[in-house]
Structure 1
Amino acid sequence: MTKFKKELLRDDRNGKIAGVCAGIADYFGWELWLVRVVALASLLLGFGGFLPVLYIVGWIVLEKKSVAEARKGTSFVPSIEKPVEVKTRIWQRGEAPKQALGHIQQQFDSIEQRLRKIETYVTSSKYQLHREFNRL
């Protein structure tokens, strides 16, 4: 599996205002609610003038994730190929192990159903007929 260089992007799909907090959460692999709580707490606890300026700078400087994906042509990923992220710590993004196991089970069931359909088609007389036509 190849590693891709991660970029800090604004996540406009999951963001509330501009997607800066959602982009930071995605970049570091943290839960989105945690980044929002830390941002709000730091705003209330004394970083009042500094944090909004950083947020606005992030809004202006960072590219939208949907635009970057469209530019790279990577916006469509089939549901079978999406990795299941297992959460090991509370601040990490992902699913609890039981939920992850359930999603993996669903993915394997879906793959098995597709494989059964392919096997049914390949062993049918319709497939043999198509093969004969293609040979002509």
Structure 2
Amino acid sequence: MTSVRKPLLRDDRNGKIAGVCAGVADYFGIENWLVRIITLAALFLGMGSFVLVLYFAGWIVLEKKSKHEASFGAVSNGQGDDSVEVKTQVWQKGEPPKQALQHLSHKFNSLELRLRDIERHVTSSTFQLNREFNKL
């Protein structure tokens, strides 16, 4: 099984200043606030100039996530992202289990309603009549 590594990008949608911390958090699959706290702690605990240089280098070098998705044809179908990530640790990225269960329950309920509409249409007399006319 081959795993494809996603590129390190600036997350301009979830970022506060330039999206560098949000991009690093997305790359490693951890929460944004944790990366921001680590960055600020390193900034104030003696690694200030090094952290600033790395941050500005990331700001300049890393491509924006929205621009990258647009250039590689990440087409959204209007329904958003269908995946649900459940977090098991506080620092992991994703939804808490209770919220994920509610999210999935809502998705399944909407799919159930769509399926009922399709079944109602297929079993209707209008559908049967149109099908018979198309056979002629």
Task: State the TM-score, normalizing by the size of structure 2.
Answer: 0.89
| Paired amino acid for 1:32 | N
Q: What pairs up with 1:27-42 in 2 under 5 angstroms?
A: 27-42=27-42
Conserved? CA contact 1:85–1:93, under 8 Å: yes
1:10 aligned residue: 10
What do the CA deviations read for 1:46-93 (whole angstroms, capped 9, x no partner)? 111011110111011111111111112114155476211111111100
**C-alpha distance in 1 between matches for 2:87 and 2:55:** 27
1:46 aligned residue: 46
Counterparts in 2 of 1:81 and 1:125: CA distance versus 1, 3 Å? farther
Conserved? CA contact 1:66–1:75, under 8 Å: no
Specify the SS of the correspondent of 1:117.
helix
Specify the SS of the correspondent of 2:93.
coil
For structure 2, which runs of at least 5 residues remain unmatched after alignment? none
Q: What pairs up with 1:14-93 in 2 under 5 angstroms?
A: 14-76=14-76, 79=79, 82-93=82-93
1:117 aligned residue: 117
CA RMSD of aligned residues (A): 2.1
Aligned residues: 136
**C-alpha distance in 1 between matches for 2:60 and 2:36:** 19
**C-alpha distance in 2 between matches for 1:22 and 1:75:** 22
Specify the SS of the correspondent of 1:56.
helix
What do the CA deviations read for 1:19-51 (whole angstroms, capped 9, x no partner)? 111100100000011111111111111111011
State the Cα distance separating 1:104 from its structure 2 match. Answer: 0.9
Structure 1 stretch 125-134 or stretch 105-114: which is displaced more?
Answer: 125-134
State the Cα distance separating 1:5 from its structure 2 match. Answer: 2.6
Identity of aligned residues (%): 62
For structure 1, which runs of at least 5 residues remain unmatched after alignment? none
**C-alpha distance in 2 between matches for 1:125 and 1:80:** 35
